[in-house]
Structure 1
Amino acid sequence: MNNLLGEYEATLDAKGRFLLPAGLKKQLPEGDSSMVINRGFEKCLVLYPLKVWEEVAAKVRKLNDFKPKVRQFKTIFLGGATVIEFDSAGRMLLPPSLKEYANLLKDIVLACELDKVKIWDAAAYKKLFEDISDEDFSNLAMEVLGGDDDVPELG
């Protein structure tokens, strides 16, 4: 699987469709005409190439359904998962319930995260970057990546 990279702007039409940007489409496996869309952990949507979704589903499938928190997670996480296909014009139609969940009205940003693509309301995505200082971002990186000498220099 290639690493999906970049941020792409798009616009939803009145029916909730958007044209997958050419720069992103080129990065997808050739011949893939469908993806799985789902709720994100933040108020966004997540597009998974089918191969990546199969890996995610395999992990979820192994969880113990006898645990109440597992059942709760599966209900929330899998409840909105939907296979969506490109139409003949290369557009994708967002399911209305998912569009509403992420508050997607018109202008959206498709933000690649290596193996998946998050779909954000453009204003909400911009606010993410306005709300974090350089120092906070540096501290977040240290917390997530650790201070080990074997972590590569990122910036």
Structure 2
Amino acid sequence: MNGFHGEYEATVDAKGRFLLPGGLKKQLPEGEGRFILSRGFEKCLTLYPIKSWELIIAKISQLNDFDPKVRQFRRQFLGGATEIELDNAGRMLLPASLKEYAGLGKDIVLAAALDRFEIWDAGKYKQLFDDFSPEAFSELAKDVMTNGNEKFPG
């Protein structure tokens, strides 16, 4: 997998379901319909295709149980993680507790994050970009993409 790309809008119905956008679905491996939905690092949700989740779990399982930071990380990261599947109509059900955590309303955005997607309330997602100036983005890119003399092509 080379990584997912794009931003996709969707609408949550009264039962907490949304239709997985076609552009996102095209990027999934053939027949992939199982996912893990969990709390994101910010106030969003993270949608992992099952294969991406399995790679993360393999890394987490290697961590030292005797380290209290590891135990706290596992609680925070794995707490609330829920397996979900597409229904016959191509919809996903958002568990109420996770929907509440992320403050999701009717309109949501699914944003690519390499091997997973973040699910944001559409208004909050827009605000992320409205509050971030081009200058701040340039500075962030410099900080993240350069390491010593190494230069990112671009």
Structure 2: runs of 5+ lacking an equivalent: none
Matches within 5 A, 1:108-123: 108-123=108-123
Structure 2 matches for 1:4-153, cutoff 5 A? 4-146=4-146, 148-153=149-154
Aligned residues: 153
Identity of aligned residues (%): 65
The one-letter amino acid paired with 2:153 is P
User: CA deviation digits over 1:49-93, x for unaligned, max 9?
Assistant: 111101111111111111111111101110111110000100000
* RMSD across aligned positions (CA): 1.1
The CA distance in 2 between the partners of 1:94 and 1:144, in whole Å, is 33
CA contact (8 A) 2:13 2:106 kept: yes
Q: CA deviation at 1:127?
A: 0.5
| 1:150 to 1:140, Cα distance in 2 relative to 1, 3 A | closer
TM-score normalised to structure 2 length = 0.96
User: Which stretches in structure 1 are left out of the alignment for 5+ residues?
Assistant: none
**1:58 maps to amino acid:** A
Which amino acid is 2:46 matched to?
V
